[in-house]
């Protein structure tokens, strides 16, 4: 077979096989150590199914989403650029994100490193893998937009919101499974109600994956939440911060 023939016989993209047992094993490891971020990506890989391809196709059906897909910019490069982040005025989404990551020492590349441990093709030059990277990179931006912190309950809530936005069952397992473990650890914390509210908020909000995030970062945070119909995290906010921070999620 000639080199030209080999080029034209490249295998098409195929969604990953659904592996529920792999996801459950990874979830148990995550419960033992919620800082083991690689297990999140293992769960997502095992349960994503066709959701990534469906999300990318949905982008193509909107004007702005199609423009973003055409540009195919890597959000991680901007989110880790301190000069770019310094452009945004106080009170904007960009300024809130800047404070969020500075307070926690988070970087977009840090998430990418964890993803590479699980998914060798995470950096593949393919539009669907680009879309998957986009979902990975906006995770902390969605923390800022939704108002959920990075404690165990806040993470369970933001991934429940993310399931409503993306249809990825990996998010559902982490959100609902995390709520169950939190209720077992501290029955006084209304974890299931908080997670259910987060999921409903995700359903009510505009679809976030296809947004122009550079433009969004320049918008005042409260105005952005209003325009995107992101509702307040009322149940979560009523849990005292000290109770949230005390959660260990250890089996």
Distance CA 105, CA 20 (A): 32
The structure's pTM equals: 0.89
pLDDT of residue 112: 85
Q: Which residues pair with 92 in a beta bridge?
A: 220
Could you give the CA distance from residue 153 to residue 173 in angstroms, rounded to a whole number?
14
- Based on its alpha-carbon atoms, the radius of gyration of the chain, rounded to whole angstroms, reads 18
pLDDT at 13: 66
Q: How confident is the model at residue 144, as a pLDDT?
A: 98
- Tell me which residue of 158, 149, 108, 133 sits closest to 55, measured CA to CA: 133
Q: What is the pLDDT of residue 60?
A: 96
Looking at residue 27, its pLDDT comes to 92
What are the mean pLDDT values of the chain's consecutive 10-residue runs (251 residues total)?
Answer: 47 72 91 85 91 96 96 94 96 97 89 82 89 95 97 96 97 95 95 98 98 97 98 97 84 36
Q: Give residue 251's pLDDT.
A: 36
Per-residue pLDDT at 120 = 72
Distance of CA 199 to the CA centre of its chain: 13
pLDDT score recorded for residue 3: 47
Query: Pick from 138, 154, 153: which is nearest to 106 by CA?
Result: 138
Task: Report the greatest alpha carbon distance in the chain.
Answer: 68
């Amino acid at each position: 077979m000639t080199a030209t023939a080999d080029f034209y016989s490249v295998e098409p993209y195929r969604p990953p096989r659904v592996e529920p047992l792999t996801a459950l094993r990874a979830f148990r490891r995550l419960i033992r150590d919620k800082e083991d971020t690689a297990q999140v990506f293992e769960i997502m890989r095992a349960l994503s199914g066709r959701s990534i391809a469906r999300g990318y196709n949905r982008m193509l059906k909107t004007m702005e989403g199609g423009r973003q897909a055409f540009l195919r910019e890597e959000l991680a490069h901007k989110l880790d650029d301190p000069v770019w982040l310094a452009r945004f005025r106080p009170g904007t989404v960009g300024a809130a994100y800047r404070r969020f990551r500075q307070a926690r020492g988070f970087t977009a590349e840090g998430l990418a490193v964890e993803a590479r441990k699980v998914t060798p093709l995470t950096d593949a030059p393919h539009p669907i893998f680009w879309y998957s990277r986009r979902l990975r990179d906006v995770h902390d931006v969605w923390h800022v937009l939704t108002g959920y912190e990075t404690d165990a309950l806040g993470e369970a809530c933001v991934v429940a919101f993310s399931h409503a936005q993306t249809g990825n069952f990996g998010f559902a397992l982490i959100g609902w499974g995390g709520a169950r473990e939190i209720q077992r650890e501290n029955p006084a914390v209304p974890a299931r109600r908080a997670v259910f509210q987060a999921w409903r908020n995700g359903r009510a909000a505009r679809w976030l994956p296809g947004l122009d995030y550079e433009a969004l970062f320049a918008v005042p945070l409260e105005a952005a939440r209003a325009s995107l119909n992101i509702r307040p995290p009322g149940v979560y906010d009523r849990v005292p911060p000290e109770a949230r921070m005390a959660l260990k999620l250890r089996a």
